[in-house]
Structure 1
């Protein structure tokens, strides 16, 4: 038996909005999205929160209310250049910090400089992420479940 999944109103495609780093510009962007009832995913670096030019930890819950928060690594490091231990630390610590500060379960991730890399993808899967976005085009949308 074959199943086809559709979006609301039987649409077969969707547009997604995805933004990285948690810069202060997100404040205005979120206001615009909220005004037009649009949703986005914001990939945050927990290590840059509360620093100049970035959003504050105390505003995460309210600022991104109604939008998805995802990991982007603690320090925005190049994951393919990290040892396995550092790679795990970079994303596990980011996830723990964001979950603690937002009270949400973080399911998604986009890793900095996003070239597709099996080691990085497998590590993120093993850390419990449901998906990760890269900047490299794969000509399709795939979840981790599709990468068997």
Structure 2
């Protein structure tokens, strides 16, 4: 009985295999789906994220400048934010006013020195030596030449 069922199962299996193999092939045609597309120009992405902030940038190292003498600025050799080294000329002042003051001070000094020497010489020959010497030295000790001058 077992062999009957085995034979019957095998036959059914063989028939089902033959029936499926004999069928006609139907070609399935799939329709192509057309999808709408949105087109737009591509630009530089860095410009999209560019933001402007009004501000003033301050340097981390800053030096205040001053001049020993006053005068009009005639030359500026550096711009704001430039790096400078020791000994670099940063700016130049018009020397005309300063040179005039130095010449006036030198002339006043020379006059006071000559007056002192003349009165000292006269005082040696006179009786009131100390009194005349004090009179003659009035201008000699009070004349001042501006600092930084090269006048000798």
Q: Same fold (TM over 0.5)?
A: no
- TM-score, length-scaled by structure 1: 0.19
Q: Flag the structure with higher helix content.
A: 2
Q: Flag the structure with higher strand content.
A: 1
